[in-house]
Amino acid sequence: MDTIAAIATPTGQGGVGIIRVSGPLTDAIAKAILGRCPRARQAEYLAFMDAEGSVIDKGIAVFFAKPHSFTGEDVLELHGHGGQVVLDMLLQQVLMHGARLARAGEFSERAFLNEKIDLAQAEAIADLIAADSEDAARAAMRSLQGEFSSAIDQLVEQLVQLRTYLEAALDFPEEEIDFIADSVVAIKLGEIQSQIKTVLESARQGCLLKEGMTVVIAGKPNAGKSSLLNQLAGSDTAIVTDIPGTTRDVLREHIQIDGLPLHIIDTAGLRHSADLIEQEGVRRAWREIERCDRLLYLIDSQTKDDVPKELIEQLPKSTGLSVVFNKTDVSGERNRISETPERTEIYVSAKTGQGIDLLRQHLKTSMGYHQRTEGQFIARRRHIMAINTAAEHLNKGLRCYEDCSVELLAEELRLAQQHLSSITGEFTSDDLLGKIFAEFCIGK
What is the contact surface with ligand GDP in residues (CB under 6 A)? Answer: 219, 221-227, 240-242, 246-247, 269, 326-327, 329-330, 349-351
Q: Does 226 participate in binding Mg ion (rule CB under 5 A)?
A: yes
> How far is the C-alpha of 141 from the C-alpha of 95, rounded, in Å?
33
Q: How far is the CB of 410 from Mg ion (least distance, A)?
A: 58
Contact 122, 436 (CB under 8 A): yes
Of 239-247, 270-278, 328-336, 370-378, which segment contacts Mg ion by CB under 5 A?
A: 239-247
Residue 421 lies near Mg ion (rule: CB under 5 A): no
Q: Which does 330 bind (CB under 5 to 8 A by kind): ligand GDP, Mg ion, none?
A: ligand GDP
Partner in contact with 349, chosen from ligand GDP, Mg ion, none, beta carbon below 5 to 8 Å by kind: ligand GDP
For residues 205 and 328, which CB has a smaller minimum distance to ligand GDP in the complex? 328
| C-beta of 83 vs 244, nearer to Mg ion | 244
Buried b (16+ CB within 10 A) or exposed e, 305-319: eebeeebeeebeeeb
227 binds, among Mg ion, ligand GDP, none (CB under 5 to 8 A by kind): ligand GDP
Please, which residue, 96 or 239, has the CB nearer to ligand GDP?
A: 239
Q: In this complex, which beta carbon is closest to ligand GDP, that of residue 275 or of residue 402?
A: 275
Name the binder of 224 from ligand GDP, Mg ion, none, CB < 5-8 A by kind: ligand GDP
Q: Which does 222 bind (CB under 5 to 8 A by kind): ligand GDP, Mg ion, none?
A: ligand GDP
CB of 342 to ligand GDP, least distance (A): 24
Distances (CA, A) of 270 to 255, 283, 307: 24, 9, 11
If the CB atoms of residues 83 and 244 are measured against ligand GDP, the closer one turns out to be 244
Residue 230 binds Mg ion, judged by CB under 5 A: no
- Whether residue 252 contacts residue 292, with contact meaning beta carbons closer than 8 Å, is answered with no
Give the amino acid at 270: L
The partner in contact with residue 121, picked from Mg ion, ligand GDP, none with C-beta cut-offs of 5 to 8 angstroms by kind, is none
Give me the least distance between CB of 226 and ligand GDP, in Å please: 3
Residue with the closest Cβ to Mg ion?
Answer: 247
Q: Nearer to ligand GDP by C-beta: 228 or 260?
A: 228
Least Å distance, CB 279 to Mg ion, is 16
Q: Which is nearer to Mg ion, 246 or 395 (CB)?
A: 246
Distance CA 39, CA 64 (A): 8
Q: Determine which residue in the list 247, 328, 376, 422 makes contact with Mg ion, applying CB under 5 A.
A: 247
Nearer to ligand GDP, 38 or 224 (CB): 224
Total residues at the site for Mg ion (CB under 5 A)?
4
Binding footprint of Mg ion on the chain (CB under 5 A): 225-226, 246-247
